Amino acid sequence: MKRRTKADIQREKGEFRQRSTELECSEDGTSESGKLAAEVKIKEAQYRGVFEASKDTILIFDLDGVIKEVNPAACDMYGYSHGEMVGLTGRDIVHHDYHHLFKEFVAKAGAGELFAAESVDLRKDGSQFDIEVRGSGFEYMGRPHLLAIVRDITERKQMAKGLRRMATVVRDSNDAITIQDFEGRITDWNHGAELMYGYSEEEAFQSNIDRLTIPAKVAEQNAFIQRLAAGEDVTSFETQRVTKDGRVLDVWMTVTKLMDDAGKPIGLASTERDITERKRAEAARDAAYQQLLKAERDLSIRNKINEICLTISDEEMYGEILKVVLEQLKSKYGTFGCLEEDGSLVVPSMTRDVWDQCRVPQKDIIFPRDKWGNSIWCRAILEKKTLHSNEPSYVPEGHIPILRNISVPITYEGKAIGLFQVANKDADYDENDIQILETIAGFVAPVLNARLQRDRELRERERAEEALKASNQQLVASEQQLRAANQQLDAGNQQLRATEQQLRASNQQLEASNQQLRATERELRQSEQFIRAVLDNLPVGVAVNSVDPAVAFSYMNDSFPRIYRTTREALADRDAFWEAVYEDPVFRAEIRKRVLEDCASGDPGSMRWEDVPITREGQETSFIFARNIPVAGKDLAISMVWDVTERKRAEEELRRHRDNLEELVAERTVELEAFSYSVSHDLRTPLRAIDGFANILLEEHNDALEEEGKRLLGIIMKNVNSMGQLIDDLLSFSRLGRQEMKRMEIDVRALVREVIDNLMQSENNRNIEWKIDTLPSMIGDRSMIRQVYANLLSNAIKFTRKRDAARVEVSSREIDEAIVYFVRDNGAGFDMQYAEKLFGVFQRLHSEKEFEGTGVGLANVRRIVHRHGGRIWAEGKVGEGATFYFTIMHEEGTDEISR
């Protein structure tokens, strides 16, 4: 229903006032107004109709608070008839507590204002009820009145009260209540949740429900959220959640989906109750129950065993107890045994018919200690520990298969006294089974111990009795001895019989030694077979031969005829060897003569024939190496033969390669010589021409040349000169490789002095401090070694040029029995990074401008040192100088050709 605004009411009021005026006019009796009055009457009737029919309670008061008119709904609400109600005052129908409010209403109505409030009214019967009242002042019968529309709001009030109560319940519930959307965002969080999970409402708000979910339950959670989102109903289930401090709670969760006004699912509310304690209690109860069951079971077993022990004889006791065990453990097979004094296990109680099923050779019930293996029951006894396996065990052949078993030692006062073993239950043995068997073993232990103790005492008594019996017998024996003396008289007769027996004995001895002989023979034959097998598999041919010049083999292995490229059969004939092996008659005669002579010499050192060719027509020739080894003290020789074809081929190949290489090297050397020769002549000639004519130009046409022209000519001449130097150095380098070495003893000290003097002639302005120390003489090519020093020393002079106090040390030092000569300077030095480059041809570490040179000097030095079988290396540091070391081998060096 559309709410009337204040403006609407004002307007209506205006209309009403006008109509009233019209009505009044019509009462004046004018025809016009009469007509109007009729209209008003009609209108009024219409209003009244509405008034009467309205379901809302409508009351009209005058400004004194007296009811002037009510509609039927009002009568119903207040329980009065129309007649009773009109004339009552507001005080009659408004609860005392609200009279002030009614007064206010009346005042507002008088002022033409609207009002609305909640209040409590009274029925005719005095009962009170909640109402909501709205109203305003209005003109009625020409005077201002109060119109009130009342609504019973008891129900609503009660609902609101209920809701408030519910909200309180929710807020204060011990259960956690969370509201979340389908993305898992927590949108509401009650106090219970705060208490249960430890997150404050602020922390929880807008965070994800995943925070509470343990990893194992993520899938479950996602599943029910999906189901809810899809519109399904999920009710209650048990799950687990995790608290802020990491405790995992068992939780009973009730989930309700939440829907928007359109009925679309938008999220879920879940009530979670911590049932951890309950679960714990349940678990404890279950455990107690289990314990009770176990106690009951143990009691029943104990009763059974006690009964057996009390009522059944010793012999049957083992079997009867085992029966109980097998029944309790649902096993098909079992043993119950005790350990004897000597450590043997006696098993008087093997499951009936097990031995019948087994086909093991010895079906004893005694297992002597020294026959125990490493099977599970042995270990159980030895380690005094329960062992079990659900895997098949190893059993002797013929034994029924043991698929799974438990072995429990029976111990008493820390000593193993017996054993229970059960096997072949249909299912795997578990902890419970082990526990039962251990329990039984515990019950049985004292009983078994008592019985064993008793048996031992019995046996001891028996032994004592036997000892007594024995001493009695001794007495008897003495008497018998007397009697024996008498009998000796008869001995003479008996001796005859004895001799006969002796004969028989020696016969037997003979027989025995015969047998031994045969055994030895057998052994010999076996070892011979072994040796034969080894020999036949050797890649070496082995044969046993008489030293007789005629070749007759008493043995040969398989390789022997194979290497000789013939057959065993062909060599079977006496003296057939030569014919069979050597095809060519001339060579055959020759080799035969040689071999026989070598053998006849008797010197084993000469009985070796290397690289003898074996030819077969149409096939490749193979080569052998053969030896004869005479066997000392016998007319025998062992012939051995190796196939050396491969080796020979490889050697041949190697030799061919070497020849090729030498040839190649020689060729190259000749070429190189020709090349250097031609270079030395032909390369210098044009250079000389360039320099010469440049000179002439400079001398004879000096006037025609400008300064720049002269400078350029100077550059040409300078470069021609370096080119000339380069060619010279290159040639010297190439010559060094070819030059023949003339070795002699060199007085190194004198040589160094000579070189220095020579070098210093052209270094007038230099002041160098020379330190010439130990310099032992060496064997080498003097001119070459001179060149070594000339290079090293001129370098030292060159590179110390920029030093004010140049120092050069020439000396040697013994390192590892080798003499290392060295030249040390305090010059420009070099970066060790380039130490290797120093010795390369044309390798220079300084610019031409800094230090002149072609970069060949050190390459020459290295070449010379290498030709002397020595080594050269350098150490240095930029700005601090350099040291060059070299060694010389006194023997022939590697006379290398290239490099």
Partner 1 sequence: MKYPDEVEILLVEDKEEDVELTLRALRKNNLANRVHVVSDGQEAIDFIFGKGAYSGRDINHTPRVILLDLKLPRVSGLEVLQRIKSDERTKVIPVVMLTSSKEEQDIVESYRLGVNSYIVKPVSFNDFVKAVTDLGLYWMLLNKPAF
* 289: contact with partner 1 by CB under 8 A: no
From candidates 298, 455, 598, 728, binder to partner 1 by CB under 8 A:
728
Question: How far is residue 157's CA from residue 129's CA, in Å, rounded to a whole number?
Answer: 10
CB-side neighbour CA atoms (13 Å) of 40: 20
Question: How far is residue 528's CA from residue 572's CA, in Å, rounded to a whole number?
Answer: 21
From candidates 392, 692, 776, 879, binder to partner 1 by CB under 8 A:
692
Characterise 688 by phi-psi region: left (phi > 0), alpha (psi -120 to 50), beta (else). alpha
The total of other beta-carbon atoms located within 10 Å of residue 137's CB is 24
Which is nearer to partner 1, 478 or 685 (by Cβ)? 685
- The nearest distance, CB 772 to partner 1, in angstroms, is 31
- The nearest distance, CB 728 to partner 1, in angstroms, is 7
Rg of the chain's alpha carbons, rounded to an integer?
66
The sign one gets for the Cα dihedral 26, 31, 34, 36 is: negative
- The nearest distance, CB 736 to partner 1, in angstroms, is 12
Mark the segment that binds partner 1 (CB under 8 A) among 292-300, 359-367, 472-480, 721-729: 721-729
- The nearest distance, CB 853 to partner 1, in angstroms, is 17
From candidates 562, 684, 807, 890, binder to partner 1 by CB under 8 A:
684
In 3D, which of 339, 479, 303 has the Cα closest to residue 415? 339
Q: Give 432-437's long-range contacts (Cβ < 8 A, gap of 24+).
A: 433/329, 433/388, 433/406, 434/386, 434/388, 434/406, 434/408, 435/294, 436/297, 436/301, 436/328, 436/329, 437/325, 437/328, 437/329, 437/386, 437/406, 437/408
* 705: contact with partner 1 by CB under 8 A: no
* 37: contact with partner 1 by CB under 8 A: no
From candidates 358, 544, 638, 723, binder to partner 1 by CB under 8 A:
723
The contact pattern for partner 1, residues 333-372, with x = CB under 8 A and - = no contact, is ----------------------------------------
- The nearest distance, CB 794 to partner 1, in angstroms, is 19
The total of other beta-carbon atoms located within 10 Å of residue 213's CB is 19
Which is nearer to partner 1, 25 or 687 (by Cβ)? 687
Position 701, amino acid: H
Mark the segment that binds partner 1 (CB under 8 A) among 301-309, 590-598, 626-634, 714-722: 714-722
Which is nearer to partner 1, 112 or 724 (by Cβ)? 724
From candidates 731, 760, 835, 889, binder to partner 1 by CB under 8 A:
731
Which is nearer to partner 1, 497 or 681 (by Cβ)? 681
* 43: contact with partner 1 by CB under 8 A: no
Which is nearer to partner 1, 237 or 693 (by Cβ)? 693
The contact pattern for partner 1, residues 642-681, with x = CB under 8 A and - = no contact, is ----------------------------------xx--xx
Size of the site for partner 1 (CB under 8 A): 25
The total of other beta-carbon atoms located within 10 Å of residue 526's CB is 10
Q: Pick out residues in 871-890 that bind partner 1 (CB under 8 A).
A: none
Question: How far is residue 110's CA from residue 103's CA, in Å, rounded to a whole number?
Answer: 11
Mark the segment that binds partner 1 (CB under 8 A) among 261-269, 396-404, 715-723, 871-879: 715-723
Question: How far is residue 768's CA from residue 796's CA, in Å, rounded to a whole number?
Answer: 10
- DSSP for 423-451 reads E--SS---HHHHHHHHHHHHHHHHHHHHH
From candidates 393, 411, 546, 739, binder to partner 1 by CB under 8 A:
739
Question: How far is residue 246's CA from residue 341's CA, in Å, rounded to a whole number?
Answer: 60
The total of other beta-carbon atoms located within 10 Å of residue 177's CB is 20
From candidates 720, 788, 823, 859, binder to partner 1 by CB under 8 A:
720
CA end-to-end span of the chain, whole Å? 119
Question: How far is residue 383's CA from residue 408's CA, in Å, rounded to a whole number?
Answer: 10
The contact pattern for partner 1, residues 384-403, with x = CB under 8 A and - = no contact, is --------------------
Position 769, amino acid: E
Mark the segment that binds partner 1 (CB under 8 A) among 57-65, 160-168, 595-603, 686-694: 686-694
In 3D, which of 648, 563, 656 has the Cα closest to residue 611? 648
DSSP H stretches of helix in 334-375: 354-357
Residues near partner 1, by CB under 8 A: 676-677, 680-682, 684-685, 687-689, 691-696, 717, 720-721, 723-724, 728, 731, 735, 739
